[in-house]
Amino acid sequence: MTLSALNVPIDALTAVLLIPAAAALLLALLPGYWLSARLNVLASLATFLASLSLFYERPAPTPYLFVDDLNIVFIVLSTFVAFTTSAFSASYIGHEIETGRLTPRYLRFYHAMYQTLMFAMNLGLTANNIGLMWVAVELATLTTVLMVGIYRTHEALEAAWKYFILGSVGIALALFGTILVYMAARPVLGEGQDAMVWTALIAKAGGFAPELLNVAFVFLMLGYGTKVGLAPLHAWLPDAHAEGPTPISAVLSGLLLNVALYALLRFKMLLAANPNAIAPGPLMVTMGLVSLIFAGFMLYRRRDIKRMFAYSSIEHMGLIAFAFGMGGPLANFAGLLHMTLHSLTKSAIFFAVGHIAQVKGTQRIAEIRGLTESHPLLGWGLVIGVVAIAGLPPLGLFMSEFLIVSSTFARAPLLALLVVLGLLIAFGALMLRLSELAFGKPTGSTAPVEASYIPLYAHLALVACAGIYLPGPLVAWFQAVARLLG
């Protein structure tokens, strides 16, 4: 087994990891930001294409890396959003350079970190070793801490510090959980490498000591749950979203939360495979519901536009955790669909918000009015995005939310009522703010904006399509993954 790991050929999987790593090195050395921004897009596109080729040619699992039906969904989604975000970022940073908020030196650092983050996330998603997965999530956390603090303002440093402290504590608890899983696996799989390899763990999970697995899952839930942004461990998330550059907000919401969720799902599967361990579902259901309802109420008090959408991310991650916690083919299917569509929609919203904040020179909701009049393309993009995220038909998120509610209603009607309540609360808040932002008499600068509309509308088109028609192969694929999740 170790031999096959040492002698890895250059296949699609290696490319998915190697391209961002090489690009990060190159971008760290290149001085000009114009060229770097384009290289960043190119590298992200290449990674996305490499990840697509994983559909056709799937490499055999090694003790360190593997690809299966579950993680390929996450990989393709995350490389796609990373690609579109890099395109958005190229136009976003041009403006930041003009206004002097970022200097070329910081941008060099920014681009190198962007690719490092992509590398860390892809590594976390493809890791077959639970220790390696932990290292990757830690690397992703450290990179984003540096990116959040990049503006060096008072608020940015505070946000980065808070994110760093809470993120490290979360990551530390997750490591303790990982060690406990190893301890549980050791008597069955023997000492050393094998007892940390995911494919070996899941095959033999039935024989592990259930008490140890239970304790381990509590730590993993708290640890990776912090990174998912589940209440009450969410405190870092709104600050980190609001104070960093907007492309990073899009990547945080659209991708990094998913990576942590993926780690959690892997361990949930491990527990589900052991008949004597506690059911992991109720824990996830509780934390998910609390996040959903709490974030719904918090949405009403937001004055900062990026913080508002950060709370909306907490709400949706709560809903997704709830769906996976409920389990069963239908709820898992709905959870996967919701996760995919949320990533696309939320990053699209952040693309719009990024340009809006730049042209208006403020993130305060009270100072942004009448966007559909002053900047029709941006304004309507934001309207469509918010309508989608609020869960209105005919957009895709309506369908996934409907599936989550209806599958819950059949099994636990009271819980379904709570979910509906949470969704309605959030819906009210979003509509209230949207009407202020988008309609009425425009305030502030009405100068034309050089925005990148393509990533924004490409995401929205995908979300709208998903609401009307889901391609058959995609449905079949998600159903297979949903069964895998148990």
Partner 1 sequence: MSPHLFDIAHMLAGGLVLLSLAMLYQDRMFGLLNVFALHAIVLSASVAWQGHIQGAPHLYITAIIALVLKAIIIPLALRRIVVRLGIHRTIETVVGVGPTMLAGMGLVALSMVVMLRATQTADPLAREDLAFALSVVLLGLLMMVTRRNAVSQIIGFMSLENGLILAATGAKGMPLVVEISIAFSVLVAFIVIGVFLFRIRERFDSVDVSALDAFRGERR
Does residue 191 bind partner 1 (CB under 8 A)?
A: yes
Q: What is the DSSP secondary structure assignment for residue 428, as one 8-state letter?
A: H
Tokens of 478: 């998600």
Q: In whole angstroms, how close is the CB of 126 to partner 1 at the nearest point?
A: 16
Single-letter code of the amino acid located at 373: E
Strand (E) or helix (H) holding 265: helix 257-272
Nearer to partner 1, 342 or 369 (CB): 369
Q: In whole angstroms, how close is the CB of 402 to partner 1 at the nearest point?
A: 33
Q: Round to whole Å and give the CA distance between 16 and 79.
A: 9
Stretch that binds partner 1, among 177-185, 284-292, 309-317, 437-445 (CB under 8 A): 177-185
Does residue 146 bind partner 1 (CB under 8 A)?
A: yes
Helix-strand-coil percent breakdown of the chain, rounded to 5? Answer: 80, 0, 20
Does residue 367 bind partner 1 (CB under 8 A)?
A: no
Work out which of 59, 131, 207, 442 binds partner 1, going by CB under 8 A: 131
Query: Is there a contact between 182 and 215 (Cβ–Cβ < 8 Å)?
Result: no
Which residue's entry shows tokens 């993680």? 71
Does residue 74 bind partner 1 (CB under 8 A)?
A: no
Nearer to partner 1, 214 or 479 (CB): 214
Tokens of 189: 């799989």
How crowded is the C-beta side of 284, counted as CA atoms within 13 Å? 29
Instruction: Please give the residues from 196 up to 225 whose contact with partner 1 meets the rule CB under 8 A.
Output: 196, 209, 211-212, 214-215
Contacts of residue 440, defined as CB under 8 A and 6 or more positions apart, other chains included, come to 369, 370
Beta bridge partners of 129: 197
* Nearest C-alpha neighbor of 378 from the set 444, 428, 298: 444
Q: Round to whole Å and give the CA distance between 137 and 258.
A: 11
Query: Is there a contact between 419 and 289 (Cβ–Cβ < 8 Å)?
Result: yes
Work out which of 108, 302, 355, 369 binds partner 1, going by CB under 8 A: 302
Does residue 180 bind partner 1 (CB under 8 A)?
A: yes
Work out which of 14, 193, 443, 445 binds partner 1, going by CB under 8 A: 193
Does residue 129 bind partner 1 (CB under 8 A)?
A: yes
The helix-helix angle for 69-99 and 257-272 (nearest 10°) equals 160
Q: In whole angstroms, how close is the CB of 10 to partner 1 at the nearest point?
A: 22
Stretch that binds partner 1, among 129-137, 352-360, 371-379, 457-465 (CB under 8 A): 129-137
Nearer to partner 1, 134 or 350 (CB): 134
Work out which of 4, 8, 35, 187 binds partner 1, going by CB under 8 A: 187
Three-class SS of residue 132?
Answer: helix
Q: Round to whole Å and give the CA distance between 47 and 41.
A: 10
Work out which of 27, 67, 142, 337 binds partner 1, going by CB under 8 A: 142
Rg of the chain over Cα atoms, rounded to whole angstroms, equals: 21
Does residue 183 bind partner 1 (CB under 8 A)?
A: yes
Q: What is the DSSP secondary structure assignment for residue 441, as one 8-state letter?
A: S
Q: Round to whole Å and give the CA distance between 327 and 308.
A: 29
Work out which of 179, 412, 420, 464 binds partner 1, going by CB under 8 A: 179
Three-class SS of residue 74?
Answer: helix
Nearer to partner 1, 51 or 144 (CB): 144
Work out which of 1, 8, 25, 165 binds partner 1, going by CB under 8 A: 165
Instruction: Please give the residues from 346 up to 365 whose contact with partner 1 meets the rule CB under 8 A.
Output: 363-364
Stretch that binds partner 1, among 111-119, 153-161, 351-359, 368-376 (CB under 8 A): 153-161
Query: Is there a contact between 37 and 90 (Cβ–Cβ < 8 Å)?
Result: yes
Single-letter code of the amino acid located at 60: A
Tokens of 442: 């425009």
Stretch that binds partner 1, among 24-32, 135-143, 268-276, 324-332 (CB under 8 A): 135-143
Single-letter code of the amino acid located at 19: I
Stretch that binds partner 1, among 16-24, 160-168, 251-259, 420-428 (CB under 8 A): 160-168
Nearer to partner 1, 294 or 457 (CB): 294
Work out which of 18, 49, 157, 431 binds partner 1, going by CB under 8 A: 157
Q: Round to whole Å and give the CA distance between 13 and 17.
A: 7
Nearer to partner 1, 30 or 218 (CB): 218
Residues in contact with partner 1 by the rule CB under 8 A: 129, 131-132, 134-135, 138, 142, 145-146, 149, 152, 154-155, 157-158, 160-162, 164-165, 168-169, 172-173, 175-176, 178-180, 182-183, 186-187, 190-193, 195-196, 209, 211-212, 214-215, 239, 301-304, 307, 363-364
